[in-house]
């Protein structure tokens, strides 16, 4: 038996696997602050968070309306069907709808139905539809208010614009910006700029910035930080430095977040030495570098294998009185584990206590992974026990590391025992963990065990998803079991699970391994007909398959043609 305990995060943690006979192969939601002065912005916020009847009760509790205002709000909830994506929701107009009186706080049939509909959407994972439902309520409240002559304030508009941006509906956000009846402020523009820059729409962001300046709404430190971060990604550090100089010339002082964005940009461009020089010059600008800034450069040095320079930076950091944090140690532990310097990684883990840092789950995971990579499963389990004893609960990454290693090692009984205990404990991530196990067995060439786990999860009422079937299709194709792979592919279609490029590429790889490129090409045509765009891997798989059939010249011609069209990189 492998004892497990339920953790606060909904995971079940291994307590003692070491004695389970494994062989050693090598040996309540936070409330938003209220804005009493901004009545309508509060109402929009409430409409997006609570049910219609609760909103009416809230209105009655806080404000004594005149009769006409009562009718405004009631009109919204009595007569509006609140359509989702153009379809009427479950609470249609009826004689049993919301009472126009604010005196009753009992939920009507329609409200119960709409709330049940919302719960159903959340339970089935249709979060986008759920958010659209809430958004439609808030948006319709604003429309009713505008139709009735009420003038919402800038906070109200900004809240709705922020909602559109979070939903990825930037066009709706821009339309709302255009129809605002009050002047937008810097926060309004920052909300849109952040969304545009985060989506890589740099040119559109510049157009919005021009509009902001034309309206004499001047950028603040948040605006410039958004622009500097985006400029580093889109145009390079030189363009970002122009924004830095501009903000200084206009008396807007950069803060640590602004400088961190620049340092991160330099590191991403490989300009690590420039980043160090910039870091050291910061005190002359009146800003002391913090631990986070050092960590950005430290990660860059470790990622490029510059261990000595990383050690120098760490020493300089300590001399300046800048204490390392958990992130600092995690960067170093991860680097040492990748370099297979496990002894030094363990020493680093132990040093954390000296600097007042308590290791967290992500501090241990690189070490567990490195042990598993070296076939030291027993050592990995030993440190897992140490991790749990320090109060660190395993996360999904921990389970992936250990269960993948167990699958590779053929420890079927132990894997099954862990799965059973996780299921019985009500682990919230049990579907993801089953997917990890199925992928682990499939990648280890043990597809029969993977299929058994599929049947097992179905028996427990768990519904396989795209990840589940992709793992099986890929594993079966690699093993040359192309007929079985196609059977699971068709099963996906029957269940309404849309295949992606990975699925199609896996099947094509199976055909190519069987020296059957004719069927692989037919499958490519089917892929395109189903609206799935081929990837570079699609074409390289076919080219390799054609070459393996002794048609090297034809494969070379196809490669040259695809390179000329820019479909495949010439490497």
Residue 442 lies in a domain: yes
- Looking at the structure of the chain, the number of domains it has is 2
Please indicate, yes or no, if residue 371 is contained in any of the structural domains: no
Name the token pair of 65.
Answer: 């309306």
Q: What gap in Å lies between CA 63 and CA 403, rounded to an integer?
A: 58
CB 247 within 8 A of CB 227: no
Could you tell me the CA-to-CA distances from 74 to 2, 109, 149 in Å, in that order? 58, 16, 16
Last residue of a domain, one of 109, 136, 152: 152
> Would residue 449 count as lying in a domain?
yes
Centre a 10 Å sphere on the Cβ of residue 161 and count the other Cβ atoms it contains. Answer: 25
- CATH classification of the domain holding 508: 1.25.40.10
Give the pLDDT of residue 191.
95
Q: What is the DSSP letter of 37?
A: T
287, 256 in Cβ contact below 8 A? yes
Domain range for residue 119? Answer: 39-152
**Structure-block tokens of residue 485:** 């792979």
The CA-atom distances, in angstroms, between 7 and each of 182, 304, 389, 427 are: 49, 37, 13, 9
pLDDT, residue 428, reads 74
Residues 6+ apart with CB under 8 A from 267: 275, 296, 297, 299, 300
Q: Among residues 137, 152, 167, which one ends one of the domains?
A: 152
266 within domain boundaries: no
User: In the chain, what are the helix, strand and coil shares in percent, each to the nearest 5?
Assistant: 65, 0, 30
DSSP 338-389: HTT-HHHHHHHHHHGGGGT----HHHHHHHHHHHHHTT-HHHHHHHHHHHHH
Tokens, residue 388: 């749990």
Calpha distance 370→239 (Å, rounded): 41
Q: Is residue 188 part of a domain?
A: no
Neighbours of 471 (CB within 10 A): 26
b/e burial code for range 134-159 (CB count within 10 A of at least 16 → b) = bbbbbbbbbebbeeeeeebebbbbbb
Tens place of pLDDT per residue across the chain (571 aa): 333 333 334 334 444 344 444 444 443 333 433 334 444 334 334 333 444 344 334 433 433 333 333 333 333 333 333 333 333 333 333 333 333 333 333 444 455 565 566 566 555 555 556 566 656 666 666 666 667 666 778 888 898 888 888 888 899 899 989 888 889 999 999 999 999 999 999 999 999 999 999 999 999 999 999 999 999 998 899 999 999 999 999 999 999 999 999 999 999 999 999 999 999 999 998 899 999 999 999 999 999 999 999 999 999 999 999 999 999 999 999 999 999 999 999 999 999 988 999 999 999 999 999 999 999 999 998 999 999 988 888 888 999 999 999 998 888 888 888 888 887 777 778 889 899 999 999 999 999 999 999 999 999 888 999 999 999 999 999 999 999 999 999 999 999 999 999 999 999 999 999 999 889 988 888 998 998 988 889 888 988 888 888 887 877 877 777 777 666 666 5
Return the ∠ at Cα 442 (arms to 21 and 481), rounded to 5°: 135
Q: In the block, which residue shows the tokens 């958010």?
A: 131
CA torsion through residues 433, 435, 439, 441, sign: positive
Which alpha helices (H) appear in 390-480, and where do they start and end?
396-408, 412-424, 430-443, 447-459, 466-478
Check residue 211 and give its pLDDT: 92
> Against a cut of 0.75, is the pTM above it?
no
| Residues 329/362, Cβ–Cβ less than 8 Å | no
CA distances from 549 to 92, 483, 554, 563 (A): 63, 20, 10, 21
Q: What is the pLDDT of residue 207?
A: 94
Q: Are 163 and 48 in contact (CB under 8 A)?
A: yes
Instruction: Give a yes or no: residue 419 inside a domain.
Output: yes
Q: Per the domain annotation, does 530 fall within a domain? A: yes
- What is residue 31's predicted lDDT score, i.e. its pLDDT? 40
**498 belongs to a structural domain:** yes
Q: Which domain-ending residue is among 87, 117, 152?
A: 152
């Amino acid at each position: 038996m492998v004892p497990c305990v339920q953790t606060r995060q909904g995971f079940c943690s291994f307590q003692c696997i070491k004695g389970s006979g494994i062989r050693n192969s090598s040996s309540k939601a936070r409330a938003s602050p209220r804005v009493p002065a901004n009545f309508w912005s509060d109402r929009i916020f409430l409409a997006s968070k609570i049910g219609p009847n609760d909103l009416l009760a809230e209105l009655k509790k806080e404000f004594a309306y005149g009769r006409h205002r009562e009718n405004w709000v009631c009109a919204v909830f009595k007569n509006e069907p609140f359509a989702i994506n153009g379809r009427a929701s479950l609470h249609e107009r009826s004689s049993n709808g919301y009472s126009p009186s604010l005196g009753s706080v009992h939920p009507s049939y329609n409200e119960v139905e709409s709330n049940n509909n919302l719960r159903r959407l959340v339970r089935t994972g249709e979060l986008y539809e759920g958010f659209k439902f809430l958004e439609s309520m808030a948006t319709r409240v604003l429309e009713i208010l505008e139709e009735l002559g009420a003038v919402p304030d800038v906070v109200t508009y900004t809240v709705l614009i922020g909602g559109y941006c979070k939903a990825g509906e930037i066009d709706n956000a821009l339309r709302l910006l255009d129809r605002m009846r009050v002047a937008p402020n810097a926060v309004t523009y920052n909300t849109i700029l952040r969304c545009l820059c985060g989506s890589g729409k740099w040119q559109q962001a510049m157009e919005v910035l021009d509009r902001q300046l034309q309206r004499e709404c001047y950028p603040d430190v948040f605006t410039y930080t958004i622009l500097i971060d985006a400029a580093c990604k889109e145009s390079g550090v030189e363009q970002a430095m122009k924004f830095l100089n501009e903000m200084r010339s206009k008396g807007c002082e950069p803060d640590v977040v602004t400088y961190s964005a620049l340092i991160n940009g330099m590191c991403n461009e490989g300009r690590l030495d420039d980043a160090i020089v910039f870091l050291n010059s910061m005190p002359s600008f009146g800003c002391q570098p913090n631990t986070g800034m050092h960590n950005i450069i430290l990660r860059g040095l470790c990622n490029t294998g510059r261990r000595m320079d990383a050690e120098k930076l760490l020493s300089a950091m300590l001399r300046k009185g800048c204490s390392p944090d958990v992130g600092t140690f995690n960067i170093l532990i991860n680097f040492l584990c990748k370099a297979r310097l496990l002894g030094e990684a363990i020493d680093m883990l132990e040093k954390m206590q000296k600097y007042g840092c308590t290791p967290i789950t992500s501090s241990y995971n690189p070490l567990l992974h490195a042990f598993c990579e070296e076939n030291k499963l027993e050592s990995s389990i030993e440190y897992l026990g140490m991790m749990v004893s320090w109060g660190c609960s395993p996360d999904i990454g921990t389970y992936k590391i250990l269960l993948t290693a167990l699958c590779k090692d053929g420890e079927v009984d132990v894997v099954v025992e862990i799965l059973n205990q996780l299921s019985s404990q009500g682990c919230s991530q049990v579907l993801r963990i089953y997917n990890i196990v199925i992928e682990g067995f499939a990648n280890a060439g043990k597809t029969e065990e993977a299929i058994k786990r599929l049947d097992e999860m179905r028996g427990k009422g768990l519904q396989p998803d795209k990840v589940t079937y992709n793992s099986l299709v890929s594993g079966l194709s690699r093993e040359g079991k192309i007929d079985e792979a196609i059977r699971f592919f068709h099963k996906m279609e029957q269940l309404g699970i849309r295949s992606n490029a990975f699925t199609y590429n896996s099947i094509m790889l199976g055909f190519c391994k069987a020296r059957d490129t004719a069927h692989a090409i037919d499958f490519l045509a089917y892929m395109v007909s189903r609206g799935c765009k081929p990837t570079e891997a699609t074409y390289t798989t076919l080219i390799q398959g054609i070459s393996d059939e002794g048609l090297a010249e034809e494969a070379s011609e196809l490669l040259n043609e695809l390179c000329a069209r820019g479909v495949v990189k010439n490497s």
